[in-house]
């Protein structure tokens, strides 16, 4: 909630007044009292009362998206970059249903959002009224919680609860559906200040001491320990604690896609990313370890691949997670530790001792030296790996990088050297194309002092390219990178390697001229087709204070390696140049 000890604008002084207000004004007041800085959305008939109320609050920052999916992905990017709750608005019917993909994206990746939709008046609910949709029913399986507000007097309490639910325990999206008549009804405003007490909702942040002792004993006995760290490290702000734990225990670590940045990539004990497109060293370490410690990672299928063949030599698997439902769900767990990752690591660090891992570390280092990430560079054509390396070097690993989904996403994960948490923003669980650009907008709004680079494919960028308008109108200085190979790249790669070159409907040769498209929206557009041009236009983009789109034209035939094909174990890697 907002810190009322700090100096506030005059209009904030009236927020808590117990006067008569409409449901719409109650909503706006409540969001401001929760400390909401920016809302992304699009108005419609069922939310006009709310937008009318916004008019009376000059401090309420609303950014008008061009599509509801753009609005929710922007709120998502804002939440991931800042750690705060992202907020978006949409109207009833198609406005609300256009949010569904974004809600599912946030839910899969445990991102805190409060999603506010309008609905038809309560008397019309269930009558198939114009622009009516049962958004609470639709989103129940893909949200952490949702509300249909039928009593205006309940609205402040519901808003307060929603922010609490979204931001505690395993974070996630909460949907609040407000019928139009509720938004216009009046009430005596009173905003709760106490922590919500919700029946059946008691997140367990504090770990069991006995399980902590078991894990410490297992570390002392292990000779080949490995840590698999995921997004929970970042979401619990536990990066410093993880670094301290690893330096105390001398255990090598691999970070999942969503965990990238949670541990510094330059550290000698970091092995890279595991799984389908993971490094040779990380995958071999997971397959040969005798102790596996999962920290804030859910052992998803792109990490484990063939589950029955995952970590076969691990005598002990420990799993630390805030969500007890994740522990034992995928892999059999001997040491379950339920709790906030930061709190668990703090307790572990009190008594953590070095593992007997020196010979093991030497073996891992040898694997890293023998099988680094590599590609065949070229002076004749522009390689996507070179582009990502160039971006990483020129930004010194300090940028926030957002991606869409596909080959470019994996190249960014492999070749950008992340230094800090909350620096990679990508759709991991759902794999949502169209996520990259709007999430970059949200990240830049939330982190105005950081450079934000959005890495996209030429397929995904077209799914929400309309949000270029927001970049131009608000002069949001996102640097928008397109790795343009004129195909759906990951589809083409799978069809080559798994479907015997039976290429089917992956050709994007009818795509627009992205430079002209950017310029049509009022955004600077640049293009590069070779390394010299790439260096030149990228520096020009960095030197340009506003938004810039850079079209890097790359080969259709470049693949992401290493690659583990479905049905294989993670040590059965196709190595590309080495195959």
Domain 384-560 has CATH 3.40.50.970: yes
Range of weakest confidence among 113-122, 198-207, 221-230? 198-207
Distance CA 115, CA 165 (A): 12
Q: Indicate whether 203 pLDDT > 60.
A: yes
Q: Indicate whether 200 pLDDT > 70.
A: yes
| pLDDT computed for residue 38 by the predictor | 98
Distance CA 284, CA 185 (A): 62
Q: Give the pLDDT band of residue 9 (cuts 50, 70, 90).
A: low
Mean pLDDT calculated for residue range 280-306: 98
Positive or negative: CA dihedral 167, 168, 171, 172: negative
Let me know: does 460 contact 439? Beta carbons within 8 Å.
no
Average pLDDT, the chain: 95
Task: Output the DSSP codes for 29-80.
Answer: HHHHHTT---EEE---GGGHHHHHHHTT-TT--EEE-SSHHHHHHHHHHHHH
Q: Give the pLDDT band of residue 579 (cuts 50, 70, 90).
A: very low
> Which residues are annotated as catalytic?
68, 130-131, 180, 490
Q: How many CA atoms lie within 13 A of 181 on its CB side?
A: 8
What residue spans define the domains of the chain? 10-188, 209-370, 384-560
Let me know: does 148 contact 63? Beta carbons within 8 Å.
no
Mean pLDDT calculated for residue range 181-207: 92
Superfamily, domain 209-370: TPP-binding domain (3.40.50.1220)
Element (H, E) at 336: strand 335-338
pLDDT tens digits, one per residue of 318-336: 999 999 999 999 999 999 9
| pLDDT computed for residue 127 by the predictor | 95
| pLDDT computed for residue 274 by the predictor | 98
Q: Indicate whether 132 pLDDT > 70.
A: yes
Fold match flag (209-370 vs 384-560): yes
Q: Indicate whether 481 pLDDT > 90.
A: yes
Residues in the chain, overall count: 579
Kindly report the CATH number that applies to the domain delimited by 10-188.
3.40.50.970
> Regarding beta strands 225-229 and 173-179, do their DSSP bridges make them parallel or antiparallel, or are they unpaired?
unpaired
Q: How many CB atoms lie within 10 A of CB 531?
A: 18
Measured at the CA of 415, the angle between CA 413 and CA 419, to 5 degrees, comes to 75
Q: Indicate whether 545 pLDDT > 60.
A: yes
Please tell me whether residue 474 adopts helix, strand or coil conformation: helix
pLDDT tens digits, one per residue of 423-469: 999 999 999 999 999 999 999 999 999 999 999 999 999 999 999 99
Q: Give the pLDDT band of residue 114 (cuts 50, 70, 90).
A: very high
- Report the b/e string of 136-159 with b at 16+ CB within 10 A: bebbeebbbbbbbbeebbebbbbb
Q: Indicate whether 40 pLDDT > 50.
A: yes
Distance CA 313, CA 335 (A): 16
Mean pLDDT calculated for residue range 543-572: 96
pLDDT tens digits, one per residue of 135-190: 999 999 999 999 999 999 999 999 999 999 999 999 999 999 999 999 999 999 99
Which residues have C-beta within 8 Å of that of residue 575, sequence separation ≥ 6? 280, 371, 561, 562
């Amino acid at each position: 909630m907002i810190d009322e000890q700090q100096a506030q604008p005059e209009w904030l002084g009236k927020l808590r007044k117990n006067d008569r207000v409409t449901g719409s004004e109650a909503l706006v007041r409540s969001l401001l009292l929760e400390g909401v800085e920016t809302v992304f959305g699009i108005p419609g008939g069922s939310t006009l009362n709310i937008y009318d109320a916004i008019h009376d609050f000059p401090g309420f920052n609303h950014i008008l998206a061009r599509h509801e999916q753009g609005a929710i992905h922007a709120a998502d990017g804002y939440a991931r970059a800042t750690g705060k709750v992202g907020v978006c608005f949409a109207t009833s019917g198609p406005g609300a249903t256009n949010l569904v993909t974004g809600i599912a994206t946030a839910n899969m990746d445990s991102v805190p959002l409060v999603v506010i939709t309008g609905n038809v008046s309560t008397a019309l609910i269930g009558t198939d009224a114009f622009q009516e949709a049962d958004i609470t029913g639709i989103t129940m399986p893909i949200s952490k919680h949702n509300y249909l507000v039928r009593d205006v007097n309940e609205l402040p309490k519901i808003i307060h609860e929603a922010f609490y639910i979204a931001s505690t325990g395993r974070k996630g999206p909460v949907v609040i559906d407000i019928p139009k008549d509720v938004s216009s009804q009046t009430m005596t405003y009173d905003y709760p200040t106490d922590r919500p007490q919700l029946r059946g909702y008691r997140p367990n942040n504090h770990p069991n001491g006995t399980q902590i002792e078991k894990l410490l004993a297992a570390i002392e006995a292990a000779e080949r320990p490995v840590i698999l760290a995921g997004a929970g490290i970042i979401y619990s702000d536990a990066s410093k604690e993880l670094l301290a734990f690893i330096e105390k225990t001398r255990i090598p670590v691999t970070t999942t896609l969503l965990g990238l940045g949670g541990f510094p990539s330059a550290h000698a004990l970091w092995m890279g990313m595991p799984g389908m497109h993971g490094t040779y060293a990380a995958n071999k370490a997971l397959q040969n370890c005798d102790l596996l410690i999962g920290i804030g990672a859910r052992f998803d299928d792109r990490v484990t691949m063939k589950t029955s063949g995952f970590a076969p030599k691990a005598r002990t698997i420990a799993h630390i997670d805030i969500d007890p439902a994740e522990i034992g769900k995928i892999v059999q767990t001997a040491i379950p530790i339920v709790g906030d990752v930061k709190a668990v690591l703090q307790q572990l660090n009190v008594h953590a001792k070095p593992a007997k891992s020196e010979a093991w570390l030497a073996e891992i280092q040898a694997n890293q030296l023998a099988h680094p990430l590599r590609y065949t560079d070229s002076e004749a054509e522009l390689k996507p790996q070179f582009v990502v390396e160039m971006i990483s070097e020129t930004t010194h690993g300090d940028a926030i990088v957002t991606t869409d989904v596909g080959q470019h996403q994996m190249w960014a994960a492999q070749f950008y050297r992340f230094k800090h948490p909350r620096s990679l923003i990508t759709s991991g669980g759902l794999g949502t194309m169209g996520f990259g650009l709007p999430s970059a907008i949200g990240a830049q709004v939330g982190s105005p002092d950081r450079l934000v680079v959005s890495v996209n494919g030429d397929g995904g960028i077209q799914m929400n390219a309309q949000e270029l308008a927001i970049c131009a109108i608000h002069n949001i200085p996102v640097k928008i990178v397109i790795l343009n190979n004129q195909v759906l790249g990951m589809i083409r790669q799978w069809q080559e390697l798994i479907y015997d070159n039976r290429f089917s409907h992956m050709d994007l040769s009818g795509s627009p001229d992205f430079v002209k498209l950017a310029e049509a929206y009022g955004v600077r557009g640049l293009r590069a087709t070779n390394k010299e041009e790439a260096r030149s236009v990228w520096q020009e983009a960095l030197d340009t204070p506003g938004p810039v789109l850079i079209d890097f034209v790359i080969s259709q035939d470049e693949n992401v390696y290493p690659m583990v094909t479905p049905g294989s174990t993670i040590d059965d890697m196709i190595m590309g140049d080495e195959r």
